[in-house]
Structure 1
Amino acid sequence: MDVNVVDKWGDLILEVGASLRDDLSSEGDGEQLSEVRSEQQSDSDSDSEQSLARSLRQDRTPSPDSSVAITDIPLRILVSSKVLTMGSLVFKEMLHGSFAEAQLHFNQVDPPTLSLPEDNPRATLLFCEIVHCSPSVHHFKGYKTLHELGIFADKYDCTRSLRSWFRGQLFRFVGAGHDYFDIDALLNEGMSAQQMLKLCFLMNDTEMFALASKTVYTHISPSEIRPRLEAVYEDEVPGRLIDLLCSFGRHSIHDFAGIGPALIAHVSRQRKWYGYFTPIPCETTQEEDELDHSQVTGLCYGNTVRIGVLGATLASLSLLPSHDPEVDSKRSPVAMLRKLQRLGEVDFGDRKMCCPKTARCNCGHDLDIKFELDKKIKAAKQKARGICLGCVKDDTEPISDFLHGHNSRCERHVSWGERSLNHDMILRR
């Protein structure tokens, strides 16, 4: 049987996937049939449903390099036992602990064989190539291969040794602000934000998980988070993860919904907006026309009109706060952001909204509504933070105790994250 040489000076042969021969051999035909049925179904769907179906079908699409594992089962891989023990704590215990495998006599002339009958051949080969620094592993592998590798890494406790390579695979999807994943870039590769979230969860990567979690709860409404994750997870979705995503999403929606009233309060020059508008000044005598109406009424004609336009626009775009949980559950922060940007396109300096010349009011010249809107949008965007992976996996604290300021570097797990980083630095040396 042919041997895949990962290390030509290797002293151990891994024989992988013997018990999976029938399943992996028939995998290709089943995937092709599922692909055809999915394409037929997508012809009758809307454009948005086609995009979702395309992202979900990626989970069933074989990777370009999957032919090796399908045609050669079991797969035999020549590796270095020393490199394996450096990359995986489980392999270290297996080969140098009290297990029967520790009795193998590792040598380069006649390498012994270690059987891993139930492991995925593709994922095992990819892991070996990564820890042996093979030059052929740098191109993007696709969701299916990364998902298989994540399951393997979780089983053999080797996520730390794969972290740098894993981040290199995902960094191409990081947005311009380096605080979220670009949805369009993900869709171009047939992936979705929820698939990215699962990958980061499996690989135990705190930084990438923070980006993925923020991307999910800002782009998906709270009512859609559970069904979207259930479509990606083959087993049960962690309930704590869903609760945290929905909680952070509702907080972000609340922040964006508060921009409209805050903007009206700014225009009205009041500390707090109570919904009361000063009436438009009526016709006055010549003597009264010489007065500054903004000083008489506290709210000039121009700003009164602008408040009316702001209120009507905010109501038509569904941007005002709502006390109905069902309404907020159907909103998403990104959709609200787009609507607020549309609000910024309104010309509040139009002369129809300015005070009469006789009022001698400079509200039309000293206008900063657009500036205030941009400032409040920026502040709301900065408040959205990634979720701490440690808090997702550590259920000792109730979710209700989390503050919105909690983020991927929360005090409870900052030392946990530093330990992971220090371990990565040691492995690189």
Structure 2
Amino acid sequence: MTTFSTPSGDSPSTIIIDKRGDVILQVGGVDNGNAAVNLLVSSKVLMLASPVLDAMFDGRFMEGQALSNTSPPTIPFPEDNPEAMQLACKLMHMQTRDISDKLDLDALVNFAILCDKYSCSHGARAWGKVWVSQFLPGSDDTEFEKLLVVAYLLGLPYEFQQISIILVRHRPALENEDFAVYERDYIPSLVIT
């Protein structure tokens, strides 16, 4: 992973995901407690991977009108998690060499939420299976409710079933469980009941 600093001293360094990238995503920031990170990426790749980003960069909106390999514009994404966005962009750009086959549960939740937000879960399913599988043989004290949300958001039906079975076996009062992650329900109550 290559990084370079931007001219301004208080600007975040830029992580180059595509050296021929035509847009810089400035992700995170002071508002959500995450330090901002800049990601140099290809808008074409993002458009292929995500219908949400396709609409953003197809030229109808300001973000998609000044794309340039020589002077890429910086587009702010202040509400998104920098680590999750960097991981998603690496997957979209097929830059998987340094991606670990183990992921912390909170990082996995953030990644699944971001993939759901930008409708790009389909491209992350294989990696999602790898990351979720590290928790499945797990113990009772793992936070399976969060894992269930991850399996649902990434579209992993087999893993969702396996996690559901573990939850039913080890948590008899399932109907009283709260499946909210970060104070938001991601799984419709119809799926749980």
Into which bin does the TM-score normalised by the smaller protein fall?
A: 0.7 to 0.9
1:232 Cα shift? 5.5
Matched, 1:8 2:8: no
Letter of the structure 2 residue corresponding to residue 75 of structure 1: V
Deviations 1:361-406 (A, max 9, x none): xxxxxxxxxxxxxxxxxxxxxxxxxxxxxxxxxxxxxxxxxxxxxx
Query: Are 1:199 and 2:150 matched, yes or no?
Result: yes
**C-alpha distance in 2 between matches for 1:79 and 1:105:** 11
Choose 1 or 2 for highest CA Rg.
1
- In structure 1, runs of 5+ residues without a counterpart are 25-69, 174-180, 244-429
Tell me the secondary structure at the aligned position of residue 168 of structure 1: helix
Q: 2:91 aligns with which of 130, 147, 168?
A: 130
Question: Which one has a larger percent helix, Structure 1 or Structure 2?
Answer: 1
Q: 1:120 to 1:200 in 2, by over 3 A?
A: same
Relative to 1, partners in 2 of residues 1:194 and 1:13: Cα closer, same or farther, differing over 3 Å? Answer: same
Aligned residues: 180
| Letter paired with 2:192 | I
CA distance in 1, matches of 2:192, 2:103: 27
Counterparts of 1:374-393 in structure 2, within 5 Å, are: none
Residue 43 of structure 2, aligned match among 74, 81, 96 = 81
Structure 2 partner of 1:242: 192
Unpaired runs of at least 5, structure 2 = 1-10
* Deviation of 1:128 (Å): 0.9
Q: Which moved more, 1:119-128 or 1:234-243?
A: 234-243
Instruction: Give TM-score scaled by structure 1 length.
Output: 0.39
Going from structure 1 to structure 2, the CA distance change for 1:97 and 1:111 (only over 3 Å counts) comes to closer
The whole-number CA distance in structure 2 between the counterparts of 1:96 and 1:205 is: 30
Q: CA RMSD in A?
A: 2.3
C-alpha displacement of 1:233: 6.4
Q: CA-to-partner distance for each residue in 1:325-371, whole Å, 9 max, x for gaps?
A: xxxxxxxxxxxxxxxxxxxxxxxxxxxxxxxxxxxxxxxxxxxxxxx
Equivalence map 1:144-183=2 (5 Å): 144-173=106-135, 181-183=136-138
CA distance in 2, matches of 1:235, 1:14: 25
Among 145, 169, 186, the alignment partner of 1:218 is 169
Task: Assess, with a 3 A threshold, how the Cα gap between structure 1 residues 104 and 169 changes in structure 2: closer, same or farther.
Answer: same
Bigger fraction of residues in strand: 2
Q: Distance in 1 between matches of 2:66 and 2:134?
A: 42
The answer on whether the counterparts of 2:125 and 2:156 sit within 8 Å (CA) in structure 1 is yes
Separation of aligned partners in 1, 2:56 and 2:31? 27
Contact conserved, 2:32 with 2:78, CA < 8 A, in 1?
no
Quick one: structure 1 residues 16 and 232, their matched pair in 2 at CA, closer, same or farther if it must change by over 3 Å? closer
Report if the CA contact (8 A) 2:22-2:73 is conserved: yes
C-alpha separation in 1, matches of 2:116 and 2:67: 27
Q: Secondary structure at the match of 1:115?
A: strand
Candidates 112, 115, 119, aligned match of 2:76: 115
